[in-house]
Chain A
Amino acid sequence: MARGIRGPEARYGWTFMAPAVIIIGVFVVLPIALALFVSFSDWNGLGSPLGNSGFVGGENYSKVLVESGLAQRDFGTAIRNNLYYVLLVVPLQTALAMFLAVQVNRRILRGKGFFRTSFYFPSVTSSIAITTIFLFLFTSSGAVNAVLGWFGVNGPNWFSDPRGILHLIFGAAGVDGTPDALAGTGPLGVTWWNWLSGPSVAMCVLIILAIFTTSGTFMLLFLAALQNVGSEIEEAATMDGAGGIRSFFSITLPLLKPTVFTVLTLGLIGTWQVFDQIYLTGGGAPGKTLLTPAYLAYQTSFEDLKWGRGAAISFILFGIIVFFTLLQRFVLRDRDDARERRELRRRRRGGPPADGPTEAPADVKLSTAGKGVTS
């Protein structure tokens, strides 16, 4: 009997898997192997890379990472640009998504469907359509500057403004031009002063764009988590007179922690992959302040025909993404463990958890929060 079922099962198992295994093998695994080969070669795009290229060792990597020159400087600039992008987009989109989710989850709120649809809709449209719209909104005489004009603010010419935000702030504080102390070349051939430029005005638009399009998706993730928790707890706290902010930080936020972790990870992975928007806004213009590693890899390969170097940049980018994901995982898990250990110790001593006098250990977080709110 067992044989009669198992025999065909194994055969069917592989037959069912075959299309997936073949396609993933041919279009994911094989490409990575081939690109790894190309990244160590001087292939110029003619003919097949196998047989039409010479082995150059780690030259493609060292040109980008160690040898000073244009290639290294461009890569450094791209890393700087993307780093500021990540630093601003990830926290802001997470915070905004959480804020929206908490707001549209309130039981007293009418018209929830309308608000949810409004906030989620930008996530549905394609990056091309939305970037086109943003290019229109942020022209020098565009809608955004018109709104700023109401408040007497003279908006910049967003997409063609390469000035770094931090440089502008330094400038306002009286630091004009490069201070001598920062004129030296920092990592990756970019001067310290330029590392400290902050995102350019143009990059700020892309940062706003990213927050605009992703906050809706992440709002849904937070919303799902909130509804697992149930809104009663927070409502109760509010009715008992706890301020919204207070009940958020002491009740909602701790409960949302796993989702925060997911959203941060997804955000971190996504923000290192900006490509479409850069392609549309002119391939890194103005002044290369929109250049990102993902676009630089494409440009190096498809336009400069330095295929080996482009592939090398792709693998470095892969390494960066893996590194930051693991780093974030490590940082967050470490804190969690520490807190749990502290909690465990406290329980073992038999002492009160935090400030509540008589609590069941099972729902320490909930009940202590409740206590803090009422007293």
Chain B
Amino acid sequence: MTATIDTSTGPSTDGAARPLPRRRRIPTRVITGIAVTYLVLVILALIYIYPFLISISGSFKTDADATQNPLSLLPQTWSFTAYQRLFTEVPLPLWTFNSAFVTVCVTAGRVFFDSLAGYALARLRFRGRAFVFASLIAVMAVPNVVLLIPRFLVLKQLGLYDSYAGMIIPLIIDAAGIFIMKQFFESIPVSVEEAARIDGAGVFRTFWQIVLPMARPALITLFILSFQGSWNEFAHFIISRQSQSLNTLTTGVATLTSGQLGSGNQYPLQLGAAVLMSIPVAVLFFIFQRRIMSTSEGGDKG
């Protein structure tokens, strides 16, 4: 712990506000304060993490053990029945495939089309650009839940209901992603592109070879958001399909949890499914942890 405080604070703070003689001493109340802070934070962290830990252990328990000892971190006897059933009785592999397929298509589509549109809005001058941008902002304001029934109606009308296309295409562009990309492209100096254009590169080549590689941070952000969003998407897959064979992990696990497969009290089975479906986003989270919590550097300097 550092006993001194950094005196070189920004110019906005009034140095005279702090009396000098007290600077090197930490009053006891500050120390108790720190101890209390640690205690509170540790308890809170436990509350946030423990549910996940007992879910993992719960998935290795027997049905009876999970019901009787919900709090224990170690199963009385290790049972892999839940996982066995998930891969035999329950079509978990199919759900996983569907989720993966949809997620890959949506993520690739969003990253590509959102950056195209974002680039056009940031850099290319064309008639109607202001109008398109204003409409985009308006679209962002429409809540997703409001769109459920309307989207079903259109999918049905277009003959896309209950197909991969109907599950994927409506999600393949999102206004918020276009917005993120536009903001980022605007922060890149124009001079780079101008040089490329003068050298004779076309608009698409300038975008693809020069600007897009520079937008890596924004692309990664968009990738994380799209992946997480489409992997965890639920409501849209409820209204865009009805076939069992098109169940994703979210809609499939929902049938397990809501007891539609006669699994009302089989907690290990449900927990196992919940644990498995969380693995990809958890992995993504830990890979990109630094970027997701981009704020973590600033505070650690001291």
Is B70 touching A126 in the complex (CB atoms < 8 A)?
Answer: no
Is A233 touching B9 in the complex (CB atoms < 8 A)?
Answer: yes
* Dominant secondary structure at the A interface: helix
B169: contacting residue among A27, A29, A129, CB under 8 A: A27
The B234-282 residues at the A interface (CB cut-off 8 A) are: 234-235, 238-239, 249-250, 253-254, 256-258, 267, 270-271, 273-275, 277-278, 281-282
- Chain A 115-140 against B: per-residue CB contact (8 Å), 1 yes, 0 no? 11111111011111111111111010
A109: contacting residue among B37, B45, B66, B143, CB under 8 A: B37
The B79-125 residues at the A interface (CB cut-off 8 A) are: 113-114, 116-117, 119-121, 124-125
B70: contacting residue among A105, A141, A273, CB under 8 A: A141
A residues in contact with B132, CB < 8 Å: 17, 21
- Chain B 129-153 against A: per-residue CB contact (8 Å), 1 yes, 0 no? 1001001100101111111111111
A121: contacting residue among B135, B249, B285, B294, CB under 8 A: B285
Is A19 touching B154 in the complex (CB atoms < 8 A)?
Answer: no
A residues in contact with B191, CB < 8 Å: none
- Shortest CB–CB separation between residue A149 and chain B, in angstroms? 10
- Shortest CB–CB separation between residue A286 and chain B, in angstroms? 14
- Shortest CB–CB separation between residue A150 and chain B, in angstroms? 10
Residue A187 at the chain B interface, CB threshold 8 Å: no
Residue A172 at the chain B interface, CB threshold 8 Å: no
| Given A232-B9, A273-B145, residue A128 in contact with residue B41 (CB < 8 A) | no
- Shortest CB–CB separation between residue A8 and chain B, in angstroms? 6
Residue A157 at the chain B interface, CB threshold 8 Å: no
Residue A220 at the chain B interface, CB threshold 8 Å: yes
A residues in contact with B175, CB < 8 Å: 24
Is B120 touching A16 in the complex (CB atoms < 8 A)?
Answer: yes
Is B295 touching A317 in the complex (CB atoms < 8 A)?
Answer: no
A359–B27 CA distance with the chains assembled, in angstroms: 29
A19–B144 CA distance with the chains assembled, in angstroms: 20
Extra contacts besides A27-B154, A116-B296, A239-B22 (7): CB < 8 Å: A10-B127, A13-B124, A23-B169, A34-B150, A103-B41, A367-B13, A367-B14
Query: What are 13 inter-chain pairs, A to B, with CB distance below 8 A?
Result: A34-B153, A38-B149, A103-B40, A125-B281, A128-B277, A133-B271, A212-B48, A223-B299, A238-B30, A241-B29, A276-B235, A310-B149, A370-B18
Which residues from chain A sit less than 8 Å from chain B, CB to CB?
5-6, 8-14, 16-17, 19-21, 23-24, 26-32, 34-35, 38, 48-50, 100, 103-109, 112-122, 124-137, 139, 141-143, 146-147, 212, 216, 220, 223-224, 227, 230-233, 235-236, 238-241, 244, 269, 272-273, 275-276, 279-282, 294, 297-298, 301-302, 307, 310-311, 314-315, 317-318, 321-322, 359, 362-363, 366-367, 370-371, 373-374
